[in-house]
Amino acid sequence: MLRQLSHELTIATRHRGLHEFTQEVEAWVGRNQFKEGLLTIHLQHTSASLLIQENASPDVRRDLEAFFKRLVPDGDPLFEHTLEGDDDMPAHIRTALTTVNLGIPVRQGRLALGTWQGIYLWEHRKAAMRRKIIVTLTGEP
Amino acid sequence: MLRQLSHELTIATRHRGLHEFTQEVEAWVGRNQFKEGLLTIHLQHTSASLLIQENASPDVRRDLEAFFKRLVPDGDPLFEHTLEGDDDMPAHIRTALTTVNLGIPVRQGRLALGTWQGIYLWEHRKAAMRRKIIVTLTGEP
Amino acid sequence: MLRQLSHELTIATRHRGLHEFTQEVEAWVGRNQFKEGLLTIHLQHTSASLLIQENASPDVRRDLEAFFKRLVPDGDPLFEHTLEGDDDMPAHIRTALTTVNLGIPVRQGRLALGTWQGIYLWEHRKAAMRRKIIVTLTGEP
């Protein structure tokens, strides 16, 4: 019979960039001993994203950051919304270009990620922030 | 015991831009009295998107629109697909750069959105359109 | 009573571009005779995406490809991560700008896609690849 569980995680980011949290999610899934299911992740913010990306080479993360910095420049004169600084509106746009929801299958008690896939919180603000994430697992215990 | 319900919403957009529909979704969730669950939203179109974004400052919505207009210019000579006008292909690209699916947890009978998160239909065509959305709720009544 | 099933698909891509696989998914949903439900799709890679897009005009696919090729140029000197060639880092960025997860409702035994919506694997590498996808169906048989 299917069951559903949810859990809240808080991640403290120190600066702009990709922060991996695959292990925190994997550990929670493992503790709950679901054999098969679907894990969904929701980030409760509008200036940071969730991203599944390459977890092997750190230069992939650097290049992602460099590309987004060039695509959505801080302090672009196009922006009216500059209340919290020159990275305020770029953070909203970078979030719109990516996502705040993920869905990952669980098989044989583990996240069915590909060999090179890691789960990241992408902080788009330059300052340290506390970010809240809700994970939900729907499946067979 | 888990149950699942779905429902169809139609949203009439008047012009290009972000149209909030958080309240329609929240009202449907409330009427169905699910305590815990997962709400998924699917938009049945290829020239409009679903977006979770900042629901406080209208200038965030204006800046998002301005940025996407500059990133994907109407009437760009790169495009072959211009059958329905100069905003036809840009609407498909803006949709590809965002998403047509969302997934939001429900906790204690309410959408577990962050303080500043609203749910938007982003119309990418310049004309008024009727857009169909299917919401599905999987959880504990 | 709700049930959940999952299945693994392998798609052999021949080159960069959009490869439709709506029929494979529809066929699997049909064989399992779920009346109502939610289908989720996860792609286990970081250099290819899932996309719901227009399935009528081939020029929409050509223009999407042309736009992304211009937005994220192969061999851009910005990139450090060039281990597997000039399309390596662009493939990761194109994946970050789109998604590797989809969620589509099932109604009356069929995928509730819009009239013009098809499900695509977007291969971002130039070489032929084998891509693994996991589909999960949660619903009422």
Stretch C49-66: mean pLDDT, rounded?
A: 97
CA distance B55 to A87: 18
| Predicted local confidence at residue C28, as pLDDT | 97
Q: How far is CA C73 from CA A104, B127, C66, in A?
A: 30, 32, 10
Of B97, B121, B42, whose CA–CA distance to A98 is shortest?
B97
3-state SS class at C12: strand
CA pair distance A97, A78, nearest whole angstrom: 17
pLDDT band at C84 (very low <50, low <70, confident <90, very high): very high
- Bridge partners of C137, per DSSP, are C5, C39
CA separation for the pair A2, B140 (Å, rounded): 11
Chain C residue with Cα closest to B102: C103
Residue keyed to tokens 């890679």: C45
pLDDT of residue C131: 98
Q: Over the Cα atoms of chain C, what is R_g?
A: 16
Ranges of beta strands (E only) in B14-78 are 17-20, 36-43, 48-54
B17: left (phi over 0), alpha (psi -120 to 50) or beta: left
Write out the two tokens for C134: 């996991």
On whether the CB atoms of residues A38 and C4 are closer than 8 A, the answer is yes
- Helix/strand/coil percentages in chain B, nearest 5: 25, 40, 35
Task: List residues bridging with C5 in a β-sheet.
Answer: C137
Can you say how many angstroms the Cα of residue C119 is from the centroid of all Cα atoms in its chain?
6
| ipTM surpassing 0.90 | yes
Q: Are C132 and C45 in contact (CB under 8 A)?
A: yes
For A64-88, the pLDDT digits (tens) are 999 999 999 999 999 999 999 999 9
Q: Mean pLDDT for chain B?
A: 97
User: How would you label C91-104 residue by residue, b for 16+ Cβ within 10 Å and e otherwise?
Assistant: bbbbbbbbbbbbbb
Q: What is the pLDDT of residue C105?
A: 98
Tokens for B94, please give them.
Answer: 């803006």
Strand, coil or helix: what is C117? Answer: strand
Percentage with pLDDT > 90 across chain C:
98
In terms of Cβ atoms closer than 10 Å to its own Cβ (0-12, 13-18, 19+), residue A82 is middle
What residues of A are in contact with residue C134 (Cβ under 8 Å)? 105, 107, 112
pLDDT of residue A30: 95
- In this structure, are residues B128 and B11 in contact, taking their beta carbons and an 8 Å threshold? no
- The answer to whether the beta carbons of residues B129 and B57 sit under 8 Å apart is no
- Give residue A15's pLDDT: 96
Question: Which segments of chain C does DSSP mark as H helices, in order?
Answer: 22-32, 58-71, 88-97
Question: Average pLDDT of B91-105?
Answer: 98
For residues C126 and C15, is the Cβ–Cβ distance under 8 A?
yes
pLDDT of A36 reads 96
The pLDDT of residue A93:
98
Averaged pLDDT, C71-86: 97
pLDDT mean across residues, chain C? 97
Q: Which chains touch A (3 or more CB pairs under 8 A)?
A: B, C
Model pLDDT, residue C78: 98
Does the distance separating the beta carbons of B99 and C103 come in below 8 Å? no
Mean pLDDT of B88-92: 98
If you measure CA to CA, which chain B residue comes closest to C70?
B78
pLDDT-derived band at B83 (thresholds 50, 70, 90) equals: very high
Q: In angstroms, what separates the C-alpha of B50 from chain A's closest C-alpha?
A: 10
Q: How confident is the model at residue A128 (pLDDT cuts 50, 70, 90)?
A: very high
Q: In chain A, which residues have their Cβ closer than 8 Å to the Cβ of B140? A: 4
Q: What is the pLDDT of residue C27?
A: 97
**pLDDT confidence band for A114 (50 / 70 / 90):** very high
C129, B59 Cβ separation under 8 angstroms: no
Q: Sheet containing C117-123: which strands, arranged edge to edge?
A: C17-20, C117-123, C48-54
pLDDT of residue C102: 98
Give the whole-angstrom CA distance, residue A66 versus residue C93.
Answer: 11
Chain B contacts of C115, Cβ < 8 Å? 44
pLDDT at B81: 97
- The pLDDT score that the predictor gives to residue B30 is 95
**Residue C32: predicted pLDDT:** 94
What pLDDT, on a 0 to 100 scale, did the predictor assign at position C136?
Answer: 98
pLDDT at site B18: 97
Element of type H or E holding A61: helix A58-71
Residue A90 binned pLDDT confidence (cut-offs 50, 70, 90): very high
- What CA–CA distance (Å, rounded) separates C40 from C124? 22
DSSP state letter for C52 = E
Nearest CA to CA, how far is B27 from chain A (Å)?
A: 20
